[in-house]
Amino acid sequence: TDVVDFHGPHQAGIATAVQDRLAFMTFDVTSTSRADVVELLKSWTTAAEAMTRGAAVPGAPPDDQVPPADTGEAVGLPAARLTVTVGFGPSLFTGPDGSDRFGLAARRPAAFVPLPALPGELLDPARSGGDIAVQACSDDPQVAFHAVRNLARIGRGTVVARWAELGFGKTSSTQGSADGDPGGTPRNLMGFKDGTRNIVGTDDAALDQHVWVADADGQGWLGGGSYLVARRIRMFVEPWDRDRLGDQEAVFGRFKDSGAPLTGKAEFDAPDYAATGADGPVIPANAHIRLASPENNGGLRILRRGYSYTDGIDATTGTLDAGLFFLAYMRDPNQFVTLQRKLGTSDALNEYIRHVGSGLFAVPPGTSGPDDWWGRALF
Ligand code: HEM
């Protein structure tokens, strides 16, 4: 079936097998009323649940005197495994002026503070932050866009859109080696297989340990939820394309064609970080996979769920404005901070990338049924 269950202990769109397309948008709350925010989340939940089934946004019957309840561009299209996932930014808890605008400040988890300045970034405030984030994923780009557009429309008067990104090719698999992704592990815009050693969406033990927030982690309302880190990572495609193959492979520590680690033959062979050759470690000290691997980070893992993006040509340089829209879910934002502090200073990949947009969101748990709504336990 091409319908993903909407309700469940966790929101869909995290452990769900990664769909092909992404529409991502963040919003700022303009209303000063807590009741408006609650109303918004209720209507968003109802609309998202319907769209996930492939149905139109519910509303009054058509009336030629008022706009239709649904914008209409997904009529006749399949659900295409649509998932809609919502997260709350730190700024929802403490307003722009530091005020406790919705009476939520005391419910902000201690771990949930804005990301610190990190190496390897030059962030554009116009592509960062947001009080609420919506991640819509689907195998059909129009279905994903339709979902975000309709939530934006429903939200008018309560929220304004802050920034958005469309992703056109998944750069991660959450299906791993066991059953495998039917199309094989996808490739990122650098041409490398991406997601080989990602957390597998059916590995409940790994999800509990690294992705889902536990009730005991601090704030009960977030139990069963997660944290989402979004990073718009620009790739310097032109210099990358001029780099020789051997160097490209050294940057990642993997072979480009097979995806195998430089110490192995097949994609899913375990990397051997101890192996050395004439020039030192076979997987270089500054290779991306060595620096990011759980073996070299005290077992730390995250669930990656990113997409390739392009926004056309960078007019100032005439180069492609393209890269990885990195999305990762984790139990504590510090998992990302720890990794990026290391990658941002030492990764061979830094010559070819720069983080230019950023967002951190607390993703509430899933909804239990028709009477439940996103964030109910928070409000
Ligand atoms: C692994 C690409 C940024 C964390 C990988 C792999 C590739 C890759 C090709 C190897 C295959 C795999 O196991 O998935 C990229 C590109 C990036 C990028 C092109 C930027 C444009 C990041 C960032 C982080 C990160 C910002 C976290 C802060 C990881 C982790 C692994 C990984 C945790 C798995 C390591 C392992 O389990 O052995 N990445 N990555 N990556 N990357 Fe990245």
Contact call for residues 43 and 154 (beta carbons, < 8 A): yes
Give distance in angstroms: CA of 254 to centre of ligand 1: 11
* Least trusted range by pLDDT, from 92-106, 141-155, 228-242: 92-106
Ligand 1 contact, 260 CB (< 6 A): no
Give distance in angstroms: CA of 289 to centre of ligand 1: 6
Strands 159-167 and 226-235: unpaired
Ligand 1 contact, 191 CB (< 6 A): no
pLDDT band for 171, please (50, 70, 90 cuts). Answer: confident
Contact call for residues 362 and 87 (beta carbons, < 8 A): yes
Residues 104-121 have pLDDT tens digits of 999 999 999 999 999 999
Give distance in angstroms: CA of 4 to centre of ligand 1: 27
Residues 277-335 have pLDDT tens digits of 998 999 999 999 999 999 999 999 999 999 999 999 999 999 999 999 999 999 999 99
Contact call for residues 328 and 305 (beta carbons, < 8 A): yes
Instruction: Establish how many alpha carbons lie within 13 A of residue 328's alpha carbon, considering only the half-sphere containing its beta carbon.
Output: 25
Give distance in angstroms: CA of 147 to centre of ligand 1: 29
The single-letter code of the amino acid at 324 is: L
CA dist 173 and 196 (Å) reads 7
Ligand 1 contact, 340 CB (< 6 A): yes
CA dist 135 and 168 (Å) reads 14
Distances (CA, A) of 2 to 46, 56, 71, 140: 19, 16, 22, 11
pLDDT at res. 180? 63
Mean pLDDT within 51-73: 95
Give distance in angstroms: CA of 134 to centre of ligand 1: 23
pLDDT over 60 at 179, yes or no: no
**Which residue in 303, 271, 270 sits closest to 204, CA to CA?**
303
- What crossing angle do the helices spanning 141-155 and 34-52 adopt, rounded to 10°? 160
Determine which residue's CA is closest to atom 29 belonging to ligand 1.
292
Give distance in angstroms: CA of 20 to centre of ligand 1: 18
Determine which residue's CA is closest to atom 1 belonging to ligand 1.
289
Determine which residue's CA is closest to atom 2 belonging to ligand 1.
194
- Regarding an ipTM greater than 0.95, the answer is yes
Ligand 1 contact, 288 CB (< 6 A): yes
Residues 208-218 have pLDDT tens digits of 999 999 999 98
Determine which residue's CA is closest to atom 4 belonging to ligand 1.
292
Distances (CA, A) of 379 to 19, 240, 255, 364: 31, 48, 49, 11
3-state secondary structure 303-371: EECCEEEEEEEECCCCEEEEEEEEEEEECCCHHHHHHHHHHHHHCHHHHHEEEEEEEEEEECCCCCCCC
Instruction: Quote the tokens at residue 316.
Output: 């100032």
